[in-house]
């Protein structure tokens, strides 16, 4: 079993993510340098907090190019929550900020009103359903394999990703009557807006799938 490399850029609480991989017997390495990223068999980009701070954290450690190169080489990469949003080209959180650009699209604020114009709560906090999207009927041959449509996972977020290509949309959830990108995927890069490490049995499917993808 290859180790899982979690990118540690100082912003997020890694412990729960790390424990979830260890739960299945995987060894976890923390990467804080380009060499550690280059050596990875599978990468996890976790994150909570603001987009700008996250990207600045990656830049300060010179990790942006190494992550891009690893993704281009086909190394499995899982972004979680803010880490998922940073996979996209740019975010409008507190201005306009450039992301990793691994999945075409942008990150925008969840509207303050629902589909019928009534005030809704932002952030979305809580359990919500995963539904196949982008023309897919199920989650086969993805990191969501084994999850059934409609199973619930745990979200905490104020911003949502909008993939440009429908084919990159793997799963949506419905909040306030609108579809929100729950999981985006392009090649070996997968981003989960929800927290697989906090979503019980369903979330652990994703953790185990990445361990398998790591070889």
Please identify every residue annotated as catalytic: 81, 195, 197
Q: Which two tokens stand for residue 161?
A: 């990703």
Separation between Cα atoms, residue 119 and residue 49, nearest integer Å: 24
Residue 23 contacts other proteins per CB under 8 A: yes
The answer to whether the CB of 85 falls within 8 A of the CB of 97 is no
Under rule CB under 8 A, residue 126 binds other proteins: yes
Kindly tell me the burial class for residue 4, based on how many C-beta atoms sit within 10 Å of its own C-beta (0-12, 13-18, 19 or more). buried
Q: Does 15 bind other proteins (CB under 8 A)?
A: yes
Minimum separation from the CB atom of position 48 to other proteins (A): 8
Spatial neighbors of 37 by CB under 8 A, at least 6 apart, are: 5, 7, 31, 43, 63, 66, 67, 70
Nearest distance in Å: CB 66, other proteins: 26
Question: Judged by CB under 8 A, does residue 38 bind other proteins?
Answer: no
- Residue 125 within binding range of other proteins, rule CB under 8 A: yes
Least separation in angstroms between residue 57's CB and other proteins is 16
Q: Residue 119 or 135: which CB sits closer to other proteins?
A: 119
Cβ atoms 177, 116 nearer than 8 A: yes
Query: Among 127, 131, 134, 145, which residue sits at the site for other proteins (rule: CB under 8 A)?
Result: 127
Task: Give start and end residues of each alpha helix (H) in the chain.
Answer: 15-23, 34-38, 51-60, 64-72, 82-85, 200-214
Backbone angles phi, psi at 198, to 5 degrees: -125, 15
Under rule CB under 8 A, residue 152 binds other proteins: yes
Which residues in the 164-203 window bind other proteins by CB under 8 A? 174-177, 197-200, 203
Provide the binding-site residues for other proteins, judged by CB under 8 A: 13, 15-16, 19-20, 22-23, 48-49, 119, 121, 123, 125-128, 152, 154, 156, 174-177, 197-200, 203-204
């Amino acid at each position: 079993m290859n180790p899982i490399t979690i990118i540690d850029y100082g912003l997020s609480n890694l412990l729960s993510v790390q424990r979830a991989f260890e739960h299945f017997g995987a060894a976890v390495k923390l990467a804080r340098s380009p060499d550690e990223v280059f050596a990875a068999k599978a990468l996890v980009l976790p994150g909570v907090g603001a987009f700008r701070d996250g990207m600045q954290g990656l830049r300060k450690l010179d990790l942006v190019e190494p992550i891009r190169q690893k993704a281009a080489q086909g190394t499995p990469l899982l972004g979680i929550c803010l880490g998922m949003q940073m996979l996209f080209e740019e975010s409008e959180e507190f201005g306009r900020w450039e992301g990793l650009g691994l999945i075409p699209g942008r990150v925008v604020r969840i509207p303050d009103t629902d589909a019928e114009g009534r005030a809704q709560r932002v952030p979305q906090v809580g359990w919500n359903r995963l539904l196949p999207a982008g023309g897919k009927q199920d989650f086969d041959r993805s990191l969501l394999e084994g999850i059934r449509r409609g199973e619930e996972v745990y979200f905490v977020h104020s911003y949502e990703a909008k993939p440009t290509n429908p084919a990159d949309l793997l799963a949506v959830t419905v909040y306030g009557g609108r579809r929100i990108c729950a999981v985006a995927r392009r090649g070996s890069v997968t981003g989960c807006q929800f927290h697989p490490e906090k979503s019980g049995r369903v979330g652990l499917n994703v953790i185990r799938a990445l361990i398998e993808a790591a070889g």
